[in-house]
Amino acid sequence: MNPSNEPSFRDSVDMMFNRAVALMDLPPGLEEKIRVCNATYTVRFGVRLRGKIQTFTGYRSVHSEHMEPVKGGIRYAMAVNQNEVEALAALMTYKCALVEAPFGGSKGGLCIDPREYDDHELELITRRFAYELIKRDMINPAQNVPAPDMGTGEREMAWIADQYKRMNTTDINGVACVTGKPTNAGGIQGRTEATGRGVQYALRAFFRDEQGKKKAGLEGKLDGKRVIVQGLGNVGYHAAKFLSQEDGCKVVGIIERDGALHDEAGLDVDAVYQWIAKHGTITGYPSANCEADGAKLLEGECDILIPAALEGVINLSNAERVQAPLIIEAANGPVTAGADEILRKKGTVIIPDMYANAGGVTVSYFEWVKNLSHIRFGRMQRRQEEARHQLVVDELERLSSDSGIGWQLSPNFKEQYLRGAGELELVRSGLDDTMSTAYDSMAAVWHGRDDVDDLRTAAYLVSIDKVAASYRAKGL
């Protein structure tokens, strides 16, 4: 996919890291300590399937243990390799530091095409992979807590949690060994939508930043902005859906692995998603133009480009032709270091992956806390909050009628005000707060320092500073 003169994903992440540390004053040797990946465990295991033993290769990489547990997803894809897993683990370290999720960075991967196996086979493979990692404490609520990533979801996380419980029957916190579980198996509401929701909140934060918008040559609100999204998986689907249904954006392009849909009037994200679920392809979708060369649309005219699929899709071969003034990296590493430089020179603003897709790990953090506290968020406060609001409403209505003014509270206001926050509302509010706080910390560096001209460098500076502070506090 990438031209051969392109650095590897791992090197690309290191180059971006190096650009930022060159602007910092770290104690000698600390820069190297933070950059390197602490350990990568490779496992090869056999599973008896369809009458013969099949051997699988998986990885779990731990980038930094300045905070424990370490955190990061497990991906199932044929392209998984050590270099990729290490790059993704490094990004997890920076991501967690930036959004103040108290974890080090880790990532796992299994070299497999999940579409080739049925549910039962996938369960056998997942349980065996989990067994190999659990017995070496590479899955453990206090040390290493995986989550979903590309090719995995709630179902795999439930199998992993169950496998851990079978092997650790007396661990009262066992369910916290993995996040992204279904809600009926210790999960939290809002986790599945979290990464896409985080992309929406990140864009809302950006559109509140007048200086940032000016740098991108954009104006006004999100309403009416033209969006192209690449990848209608969990992240891309939720981001595109929320932006179009709640913020008034027009999704004018959707790129999938087998082509792209283009419609200046705006695509119906749910209808496209359902079409793909039913037919396994976007080809033939009736109400838009379908172009076979999907990647070409990455260069299409729009206000916001959302690469939400693979790494390295914007690279030396196409960066120059990318027209979007604003790119938000919903995927990890979609822009290579070389492309990043070209785009920076062109004045394209990039909201970097370590911030843009941090919604997933943020809500994973909430789930982990919920599991350790053994109680659903809001359970103690909700009724009490509703009772207090009812008091205010009753008093206002009494005053209005006693004084003869006759004001009426609108039914809509009453309904919203009287409803106490449940778990989903609290999760969304915590995520929104996290995304705006992290945006402000990046923007302060981006706008405040003459030697920083992009958000990615600003994000690295904020996050490396936090990792360095943890190492210093440990006396290292």
Q: Which is nearer to ligand GLU, 94 or 242 (CB)?
A: 94
Query: From the CB of 462, what's the least distance to ligand GLU, in Å?
Result: 17
- Phi/psi at 15 (nearest 5 deg)? -65, -40
Whether residue 114 contacts residue 124, with contact meaning beta carbons closer than 8 Å, is answered with no
Does 360 bind ligand GLU (CB under 6 A)? Our answer is yes
Whether residue 377 contacts residue 354, with contact meaning beta carbons closer than 8 Å, is answered with no
For ligand GLU, the binding residues in 94-123 under the rule CB under 6 A are none
Residues 162 and 143: their CA atoms lie apart, in Å, by 17
CA-based max dimension of the chain: 84
Q: Which is nearer to ligand GLU, 58 or 259 (CB)?
A: 58
- Phi/psi at 131 (nearest 5 deg)? -55, -45
Residue 473, number of CB atoms within 10 A of its CB:
9
Run of H or E including 425? helix 423-448
Please report, for residues 9, 90, 108, 313, 352, the alpha-carbon distance to residue 83 in angstroms, rounded to integers and kept in the order given.
7, 11, 11, 17, 20
Q: Choose the binding region for ligand GLU from 44-52, 70-78, 287-295, 424-432 (rule: CB under 6 A).
A: 70-78
Q: Which is nearer to ligand GLU, 87 or 147 (CB)?
A: 147
Does 428 bind ligand GLU (CB under 6 A)? Our answer is no
Q: Which of 71, 95, 107, 250 is catalytic?
A: 107
Which residue of 12, 364, 457, 463 would you call a contact of ligand GLU, by CB under 6 A?
364
Q: Which is nearer to ligand GLU, 72 or 334 (CB)?
A: 72
Which residue of 73, 307, 333, 334 would you call a contact of ligand GLU, by CB under 6 A?
73
Q: Which two tokens stand for residue 200?
A: 């929406």
Which residue of 138, 326, 361, 438 would you call a contact of ligand GLU, by CB under 6 A?
361
Whether residue 329 contacts residue 239, with contact meaning beta carbons closer than 8 Å, is answered with no
Q: Choose the binding region for ligand GLU from 1-9, 134-142, 309-317, 356-364 (rule: CB under 6 A).
A: 356-364
Query: From the CB of 179, what's the least distance to ligand GLU, in Å?
Result: 5
Whether residue 361 contacts residue 92, with contact meaning beta carbons closer than 8 Å, is answered with yes
Query: From the CB of 412, what's the least distance to ligand GLU, in Å?
Result: 35
Query: From the CB of 161, what's the least distance to ligand GLU, in Å?
Result: 14
Q: Choose the binding region for ligand GLU from 250-258, 289-297, 313-321, 358-366 (rule: CB under 6 A).
A: 358-366
Query: From the CB of 125, what's the least distance to ligand GLU, in Å?
Result: 19
Q: Which two tokens stand for residue 189?
A: 């509401």
Where does residue 309 fall: left (phi above 0), alpha (psi -120 to 50 degrees), or beta otherwise? alpha
**107 is a catalytic site residue:** yes
Q: Which is nearer to ligand GLU, 61 or 364 (CB)?
A: 364
Whether residue 303 contacts residue 324, with contact meaning beta carbons closer than 8 Å, is answered with yes
Which residue of 37, 147, 302, 438 would you call a contact of ligand GLU, by CB under 6 A?
147
Query: From the CB of 149, what's the least distance to ligand GLU, in Å?
Result: 4
Query: From the CB of 390, what's the least distance to ligand GLU, in Å?
Result: 37
Query: From the CB of 364, what's the least distance to ligand GLU, in Å?
Result: 3
Q: Which two tokens stand for residue 149?
A: 């990533």
Which residue of 19, 60, 63, 71 would you call a contact of ligand GLU, by CB under 6 A?
71
Measuring CA to CA, which residue among 238, 302, 294, 292 is closest to residue 270?
Answer: 238
Whether residue 87 contacts residue 10, with contact meaning beta carbons closer than 8 Å, is answered with yes
Which residue of 58, 72, 186, 259 would you call a contact of ligand GLU, by CB under 6 A?
72
The residue number with the shortest CB distance to ligand GLU is 73
Residue 310, number of CB atoms within 10 A of its CB:
17
In whole angstroms, how large is the CA radius of gyration of the chain? 23
Cα atoms in the Cβ-side hemisphere of radius 13 Å centred on 313: 26
Does 332 bind ligand GLU (CB under 6 A)? Our answer is yes
Does 151 bind ligand GLU (CB under 6 A)? Our answer is no
Q: Which is nearer to ligand GLU, 244 or 364 (CB)?
A: 364
Query: From the CB of 476, what's the least distance to ligand GLU, in Å?
Result: 24
Q: Choose the binding region for ligand GLU from 29-37, 69-77, 112-120, 466-474 (rule: CB under 6 A).
A: 69-77
Q: How many residues bind ligand GLU (CB under 6 A)?
A: 11
Does 457 bind ligand GLU (CB under 6 A)? Our answer is no
Q: Which residues, 6+ apart, have CB-to-CB distance to 136 below 8 Å?
A: 41
Does 149 bind ligand GLU (CB under 6 A)? Our answer is yes
Residues 197 and 193: their CA atoms lie apart, in Å, by 6
**SS3 helix, strand, coil % of the chain, rounded to 5?**
50, 15, 35
Residues 362 and 179: their CA atoms lie apart, in Å, by 11
Which residues are annotated as catalytic?
107
For ligand GLU, the binding residues (CB under 6 A) are 71-73, 147, 149, 179, 332, 357, 360-361, 364
